Amino acid sequence: MPLSSLQTPSCATLSASIQKGRWKMLAAGFSVTLPLPAVHFSHRRSIRASASSSPSPSSSSSLGAGENNELDAVSAFSEIVPDTVVFDDFERFPPTAATVSSSLLLGICGLPDTVFRNAVDMALADSSCAGLETTESRLSCISNKAMVNVGGDLVKLVPGRVSTEVDARLAYDTNGIIRKVHDLLRLYNEIDVPHDRLLFKIPATWQGIEAARLLESEGIQTHITFVYSFAQAAAAAQAGASVIQIFVGRLRDWARNHSGDTEIETAIKSGEDPGLALVRRSYNYIHKYGYKSKLMAAAVRNKQDLFSLLGVDYVIAPLKVLQSLKDSPAIPDDEKYSFVRKLTPETATHYNFTNKELVKWDQLSMASAMGPASVELLSAGVEGYANQAKRVEELFGKIWPPPNV
């Protein structure tokens, strides 16, 4: 039986949990409806800088002559990353980069006819995993193989980098994270994926940031996620993380329902949105002090958020926001939205930081500086990702061995 034809009852059972192509997952402590399977794809237009570089300094000017709609206009300043799905929206928003995660693997098993299903089936039938003695090691091997097989397929589909999620159950284990990345990288080497096409997505715990520092020293590119405080962002920049991801909307949501976080309250007293303020401070810190990290603003909820962040390296935005931008003509000197780059390396040089912010961050200083928002949101994010990784292994445990093994 060809591997591509393998069908399993468990995947069919998972499919039954999908309603109208969407499913529920726990993200940062609350239920979020995501497209299935969810992948962040980077969408780059011809006027945008490449994924491996900052936007061109010439982008610091206002709206140019060749931009016909608002999406063209904002793409001149930042890399726009649609929060899109594997199988839809390619024509509207052509992907140039992607993320492979546990939730994606679950989604692929839920849709057995996808182009990525063979990548998962190949992992399930892999003889090197089948020969392992313990169930735990076998399921870990299959999960690693499935993640890399799908990542390898994505590398062939997009010209940019593919970010591979590192098991969040290792979020507080520096050596465990490093071993996992080395294991994944070895598998990528076996299918001839160049290192410069890969990122490894690691939670912004201190142990995760320390792992990023050590991995980056080996030339392995890292993507730090679940950043909700300046201390995390600055520590990740000092560690040399290639990409630092801040969740704008989630900080705003926390602030609406909680109090007692000094960093958030300081931003609000200054008339700033706490999520947008964190992106601005982090961007200015990175550029003023010459760190190599690229900054990604995620959980952007509306066009005003996006316009407020023009100039940040990457912006993840919902499809409804991007479609609205695409459908709206770019009007110079628009009274509602200003097509002017808000974040630039030049303005960063004039930003003033306190002595407390300019420390050499270590585990104690970062923990002391993180307020309740970042502690709670980081913990919830790690828990959500860990649950997804556990679900993948549980699913593989139910459907292994496949019929031909």
Positions marked catalytic: 201
Bridge partners, 69 (sequence order): 329
All residues at 6 or more sequence positions from 109 whose CB lies less than 8 Å from its CB, including other chains:
8, 10, 11, 14, 117, 120, 395, 399
- Which has the closest alpha carbon to 201: 250, 241, 239? 241
All residues at 6 or more sequence positions from 284 whose CB lies less than 8 Å from its CB, including other chains:
343, 347, 348, 351
- Which has the closest alpha carbon to 273: 295, 296, 245, 300? 300
Bridge partners, 31 (sequence order): 26
Q: List b or e across 66-81, with b for residues whose CB sees 16 or more CB atoms inside 10 angstroms.
A: ebeebbbbbbbbbbbb
Tokens encoding 302: 């509306």
Count of CA atoms in the C-beta half-sphere (13 A) of 217: 9
Cα end-to-end span (Å), the chain: 10
User: From the CB of residue 170, how many other CB atoms can be counted at a distance below 10 Å?
Assistant: 24
Give the Cα separation of 366 and 68 in Å (integer): 45
User: From the CB of residue 228, how many other CB atoms can be counted at a distance below 10 Å?
Assistant: 29
Give the Cα separation of 205 and 180 in Å (integer): 16
Q: Find tokens 């490449």 and name the residue.
A: 50
Give the Cα separation of 341 and 57 in Å (integer): 10
